[in-house]
Chain A
Amino acid sequence: MTDESTTTHRQTPSQTIGPFFGYALPYDGGPELVPGNQPTAIRLYGTVFDGAGNPVPDALLEIWQADDEGILPRELGSLARGQQGSAADAFTGFGRCPSTRAGRYGFTTVKPGPVSGKAPYILVTVFARGMTQHLFTRCYFPDEVDLNAEDTVLNAVPADRRHTLIAVRERAGYRFDIHLQGEGETVFLDFDD
């Protein structure tokens, strides 16, 4: 193989986020991609669990998604959200939320539209003390039965693990729990190019 010649620079290795990011990375408005009173707003929430089934109180979650029409936003201002009154903010598609002592997280966002006609999902990135490198997963939606049935990623996953990529519809919104290890371990993704 000679493909390596195309890559002249080598990856800087990951290192754990550690326990002390809480005063540095979370920011006001991080979990609220849209105001809660916006008619199209949804809640996306869940709990992060470790391999013993205990909640992870020191995780950081990031989401990145298309808007409700399936367009990936190019708007600046994720970090400044809410400073001018959130109703005036553009939708940036990016959110960040630390887990609570109970291991819970929650975002207010919109359900993304299908991108290029494919099953909509929210890209979820998990960081935590004890994780040497972040993990990616996708949160699909249970009410997209037809598009989900055609989705190449959902179909690439063993049937008995597929549900870990699909949020659960509840009265309050969509619940997407994350199991880092063990019973019901979430399917985590690695991306080719």
Chain B
Amino acid sequence: MADELEPQTKISTEIAAIAGAAAATPANSTGHPRRDYAPYRSSVLRHPTHELVRVDPEEVERVSPAFGHTDVDLLESDLTIQHTGEPLGERITVSGRVLDGDGRPVRHQLIEIWQANSAGRYVHKRDQHPAPLDPNFTGVGRAITGEDGSYRFVTIKPGPYPWRNHHNAWRPAHIHFSLFGTAFTQRLITQMYFPGDPLFALDPIYQSVTDPEARKRLVSAYDHEANVPEFSMGYSWDIVLTGSRSTWMESEHDHD
């Protein structure tokens, strides 16, 4: 039965129905994805059915672990120098700033990234995609944000890859990001995409964010000024960590 996957048309129909309902009730938008998003089949048994219990954060939630030079080496932000040779693919930089909801920099905090190689293959034993591994690319990086919240990674543009959510399902190319803010309530794991990807409309993970404006915030920009001439293409992407407070106020505001 596992081989009888559902067609893309069925998934796309479900995506469109949920998007239509969401557009009719924008007051419900928090910017975050739906936890119960059936087109992403794995979410069906992995979301709570009870409302989250809304509570005041204590000090534990209002602070975050401290990370720094003893945790991350500066060289870990360059994913192209982790082996003896040069990885294959399109060399890129991904840079930007991590900000809070007021636009203030999130300083000296940990960013971790992981990604597929240029052929769309992860260095992970569960990845069975028959695309080549690259002996010169692992696809894992770390950095600590600067005084102005800035970060910069040197890497290879990841390829799209197939998965088995449904028949002929392909993930748009993306880089996974893990971030810490100044409060643990700002903790975020997300994915950064590349502009103009033709798979956006078809992908239930990207579409699990039902607010189209919020979805755009997951897409990096090609930044010609960020290119290193004769070396790498530049993509820029700022990340905003508001925690739960402002997303809640945003939805309250939208009720008026």
**Interface residues, chain A, CB within 8 Å of chain B?**
1, 3-4, 6-25, 50-52, 54, 56, 58, 62, 64-66, 72-80, 92-94, 115-116, 118, 121, 123, 125, 127-136, 152-153, 156-157, 161, 180-182, 185-193
Question: Which of B3-11, B20-28, B37-45, B80-88 binds A?
Answer: B37-45
Assembled-state Cα–Cα distance A80/B70 (Å): 7
Contacts of A116 in B (CB 8 A): 58-59
| Chain A CB within 8 A of B178 CB | yes
Assembled-state Cα–Cα distance A66/B239 (Å): 28
A52 engages B126 (CB within 8 Å): no
B184 engages A64 (CB within 8 Å): yes
Contacts of A16 in B (CB 8 A): 33, 40, 189, 191, 205, 208
A10-B250, A190-B54 known; A56-B126 Cβ under 8 A: no
A72-B59, A132-B34, A134-B187 known; A181-B214 Cβ under 8 A: no
B60 engages A64 (CB within 8 Å): yes
Q: How far is the CB of B162 from chain A (nearest CB, A)?
A: 13
B55 engages A11 (CB within 8 Å): no
Assembled-state Cα–Cα distance A182/B49 (Å): 7
B48 engages A135 (CB within 8 Å): yes
Contacts of A134 in B (CB 8 A): 187, 189
| Chain A CB within 8 A of B252 CB | yes
| Chain A CB within 8 A of B156 CB | no
20 CB < 8 A contacts A-B: A4-B249, A8-B101, A11-B101, A12-B241, A20-B114, A24-B113, A76-B69, A129-B42, A132-B205, A133-B32, A153-B55, A181-B49, A188-B48, A188-B50, A190-B52, A191-B185, A191-B245, A193-B56, A193-B243, A193-B244
| Cβ proximity bits B162-202 to A, threshold 8 Å, 1 near / 0 not | 00000000000010101000001101111100000000000
A13-B31, A21-B114, A51-B45 known; A191-B55 Cβ under 8 A: yes
| Chain A CB within 8 A of B132 CB | no
Q: Which of B60, B68, B185 contacts A72 (CB 8 A)?
A: B60
| Chain A CB within 8 A of B122 CB | yes
| Cβ proximity bits B109-123 to A, threshold 8 Å, 1 near / 0 not | 010111010000011
A132-B37, A181-B48 known; A76-B126 Cβ under 8 A: no
B46 engages A188 (CB within 8 Å): no
A130-B45, A192-B55 known; A20-B126 Cβ under 8 A: yes
Interface size class of chain B, counting residues whose CB lies under 8 Å from the partner chain: 35 or more
Q: How far is the CB of B199 from chain A (nearest CB, A)?
A: 14
Assembled-state Cα–Cα distance A9/B190 (Å): 17
| Chain A CB within 8 A of B136 CB | no
Q: Which of A25, A56, A93, A94 contacts B112 (CB 8 A)?
A: A25
A14-B188, A92-B66, A181-B46 known; A7-B60 Cβ under 8 A: no
Q: Which of B52, B54, B240 contacts A12 (CB 8 A)?
A: B240
Contacts of A50 in B (CB 8 A): 45-46
Assembled-state Cα–Cα distance A76/B67 (Å): 5
Assembled-state Cα–Cα distance A181/B65 (Å): 29
Chain B: CB-nearest residue to A22: B124
Chain A: CB-nearest residue to B240: A9
Contacts of A188 in B (CB 8 A): 48, 50, 52-53
Chain B: CB-nearest residue to A2: B253
Assembled-state Cα–Cα distance A180/B35 (Å): 11
| Chain A CB within 8 A of B215 CB | yes
A1 engages B253 (CB within 8 Å): yes
Q: How far is the CB of B194 from chain A (nearest CB, A)?
A: 14
Chain A: CB-nearest residue to B186: A11
Q: Given A23-B122, A181-B47, 12 other A-B contacts at CB below 8 A?
A: A10-B250, A11-B32, A17-B189, A18-B205, A66-B60, A79-B71, A121-B60, A131-B47, A132-B34, A132-B40, A153-B53, A190-B55
